[in-house]
Amino acid sequence: MTEASPKQLAESLLGPILAGASVIGLRFGALQLQFEPAAKVCGEPYVNLSSAWSVFAARPDVFPEDESDVVEGSENDEVLMAASLRHKVVFSVEVLDPWPHLILTFTDQSVLYLNGKNDRYEPWTAGVAHAPVDEQLQVIACPGGDLAFVLPKAGAHNSFLLTPLRDADPLRR
């Protein structure tokens, strides 16, 4: 069998954590969305809004290619836009290719776009925070377009998230 691509791995890890989850809060500093999970995960699902991002009322025909294509508002505007996502439920999670833009589509058809293209810093991170070290899971969009992963330890509660990967690729067991 073929090994999962980084994009497929990111979607298969973030999908069970975020699909069905609702936005329940914000953390300030580097703006972070917090989610009430639908799945029984150990910890708190989150998405860091570290790069340019935007909310669309519906899925656009074309997403921005990089940060310069996203109209950024003031810090207050961004907080208000993030707060407008409160109680929205994630329907699907998608990572675009070749740049790892993160797309969250909500049940009301609105879309959160997070730019994944930056040569200097990590445009976004998502995963499970506030969990014991063995339970932590992170997907990190890296400078230059790569994805990096922090995976829960085998046997940990959150290791159930790795099951689809083991089923698809016998070398990951």
pTM above 0.95, yes or no: no
How far, CA to CA in Å, does 171 sit from each of 4, 70, 75, 167?
11, 40, 45, 10
Q: Please state, rounded to an integer, the average pLDDT across all residues of the chain.
A: 89
**For residue 1, is pLDDT > 80?**
no
Residues 74-103 pLDDT 10s: 999 999 999 999 999 999 999 999 999 999
**For residue range 16-73, what is the model confidence (pLDDT) as tens digits?**
999 999 999 999 988 999 999 887 888 999 999 989 999 999 999 999 998 889 988 8
Measured between alpha carbons, how far is residue 141 from residues 25, 73, 77 in Å?
Answer: 22, 23, 24
Check whether 6 has a pLDDT greater than 90.
Answer: yes
Radius of gyration of the chain (CA): 15
State the pLDDT at residue 57. 97
pLDDT of res. 164:
52
Domain-embedded: residue 139: yes
How many distinct structural domains can be found in the chain? Answer: 1
At residue 113, φ and ψ (nearest 5 deg) are -110, 130
pLDDT at 124 over 70: yes
Residue-range definition of the domain harbouring residue 37: 6-166
Find, among 52, 41, 4, 12, the residue nearest to 139 by Cα.
12
For residue 173, is it within any domain?
Answer: no
Q: 3-state secondary structure string, 100-119?
A: CCEEEEECCCCEEEECCCCC
| 171 occurs within a structural domain | no
pLDDT at res. 47: 98
Given a cut of 70, whether residue 147 has pLDDT beyond it is yes
Mean pLDDT of 105-112: 98
pLDDT (0 to 100) of residue 166: 47
Residue 126's closest CA among 105, 107, 109, 104?
Answer: 104
Q: What is the pLDDT of residue 68?
A: 87
Using DSSP, state whether 73 is helix, strand or coil.
coil
Per-residue pLDDT at 140 exceeds 50: yes
User: In this structure, is residue 126 part of a structural domain?
Assistant: yes
168 band by pLDDT with thresholds 50, 70 and 90: very low
